[in-house]
Amino acid sequence: MKCPFCDYYETKVVDSRPTDEGQAIRRGRECVQCSKRFTTYEKIEKIPLIIVKKDGNRQAYDRNKILNGILKACEKRPVPLNTIEKAVDEIERALYNSMEKEITSQQIGEMVMDKLKEIDEVSYVRFASVYRQFKDINNFAEELNKLLNKEK
């Protein structure tokens, strides 16, 4: 690691601790030549993930879009924020673990609906009504019937 003060290439680690819930390591370093201290962070490099939309357009993955969609579906429902964040974490982990560089927005939508089914059925139906773009009340009733039949 090159010293940012004197550009010397030899430094030593004097302190190391995990940060960001174990997702990164903060290292305190000291330059062997000038003895000045500085901090570096080490974290896992994530594979860039591209989302393929229904119309074929591609865009970079944005965690906030999933979070906002779930928050909107769970609005005015008794769903704690940490439960929502955990669901988004699990979806994101599954996306990165798939090792695919491109994922369709439909796949993500299905993953979100699966998580919402586990968390809160009303939120699931809200999300599904927007995601599946129900054309009329019959489509909506069909989805509700599927949900009711699975419970029995």
* Token pair of 98 as six digits: 């798939």
Q: What is the dihedral of CA 43, 48, 49, 52, to 10 degrees?
A: 160
DSSP annotation of 42: E
**Rounded to 5 degrees, what angle do the CA atoms 148, 122, 69 make?**
130
Nearest alpha carbon to residue 100 among 48, 56, 43: 48
Contacts of residue 87, defined as CB under 8 A and 6 or more positions apart, other chains included, come to 70, 115, 116, 119
Could you report the per-residue pLDDT of 57-115, keeping only the tens digit for each? 999 999 999 999 999 999 999 999 999 999 999 999 999 888 899 999 999 999 999 99
> Phi/psi of residue 64, each to 5°?
-60, -30
Tell me the C-alpha to C-alpha distance, in Å, between residue 55 and each of 51, 104, 106: 11, 10, 11
Q: Write the burial class of residue 129 (CB in 10 Å: 0-12 exposed, 13-18 middle, 19+ buried).
A: middle
CB atoms within 10 A of CB 149: 8
Quick one: pLDDT band at residue 129, thresholds 50, 70, 90?
A: confident
Report the pLDDT value the prediction gives residue 23, as an integer from 0 to 100: 78
Could you report the per-residue pLDDT of 9-57, keeping only the tens digit for each? 999 999 999 987 777 899 999 999 999 999 999 987 777 899 999 999 9
